[in-house]
Homo-oligomer: A and B are copies of this chain.
Amino acid sequence: MEDNQGQDHHSPSNHGTERSEPVRSRWTPKPEQILILESIFNSGMVNPPKNETVRIRKLLEKFGSVGDANVFYWFQNRRSRSRRRQRQMQASGGTSNGFANSPSSYLVGSSSSSGVVGEDHGVESLFSFSNQMGFQESEQTSGVTSILCPSETSSLHYQTAGFITIFINGVPTEVPRTPLDVKAMFGQDVMLVHSSGVPVPTNEYGFLVQILHHGESYFLVNISAV
């Protein structure tokens, strides 16, 4: 019956849609939020320390009300279910390609020794010591690097004036709402394609004709390749 897991917990994240909701018992993550969370989890940060959790929460807030506790729970459940599925798969010769979990590459540098970074238990031990820390304010726990964009490292977190957050190749990125010069920003022979597969039109100078939409996913693709 501990009160909380070291995470601030409580703060039930009123996430109410600023309306008179009698009770909305549970947080329903927006698709964009899931995208961010998955992105972080798959990058190898399967158990973010408290300070990272806070940063993640702040990023998520751009897409809807969330509390640190929600983030904490999400990772806890994600780890747990990932492990369980892994187990069940092994117990039944699952040839099926699981997309579900694949925290394959880690940026963790320090803790060496152990060999294969196979599955969870291995991962778990890798990070286990970085969890309890209740301090380490502005320092990365170990070799753990955040995948959040730099703009997040500073303060200021609610929807910045002229900027929106979109996903480029899966990475949350801030871009000005202003007509964007794609060529100047990303290179000569590339174009942006919306996740639905529809290219984002540009004029003959390479400027976007259409504005990008906050929260959407886009991919940079080589023109010669498409």
User: Which single member of B105, B170, B226 contacts A195 (CB below 8 Å)?
Assistant: B170
Give how many copies assemble into the complex.
Answer: 2
- With A31-B108, A115-B213 already in contact, the answer to whether A224 and B38 are too (CB < 8 A) is no
Shortest distance in angstroms between A50's beta carbon and chain B's nearest beta carbon? 23
Q: Judging by beta carbons under 8 Å apart, are A102 and B34 in contact? A: yes
Q: Is A8 an interface residue (CB 8 A)?
A: no
- With A96-B17, A108-B38, A196-B116 already in contact, the answer to whether A221 and B219 are too (CB < 8 A) is yes
Q: Judging by beta carbons under 8 Å apart, are B116 and A216 in contact? A: yes
* Chain A interface main SS type: loop
Tier of interface size on chain A = 35 or more
Beyond A63-B96, A222-B222, 11 extra complex contacts between A and B, CB < 8 Å: A31-B99, A34-B102, A42-B195, A42-B198, A97-B216, A99-B107, A110-B217, A115-B213, A115-B215, A116-B198, A190-B221
Report which A residues bind B (CB closer than 8 A).
17-19, 29-32, 34-35, 37-39, 42-43, 63-64, 78, 92, 94-97, 99-102, 104-117, 147, 167, 169-171, 186-190, 193-198, 213-217, 219-222, 224-226
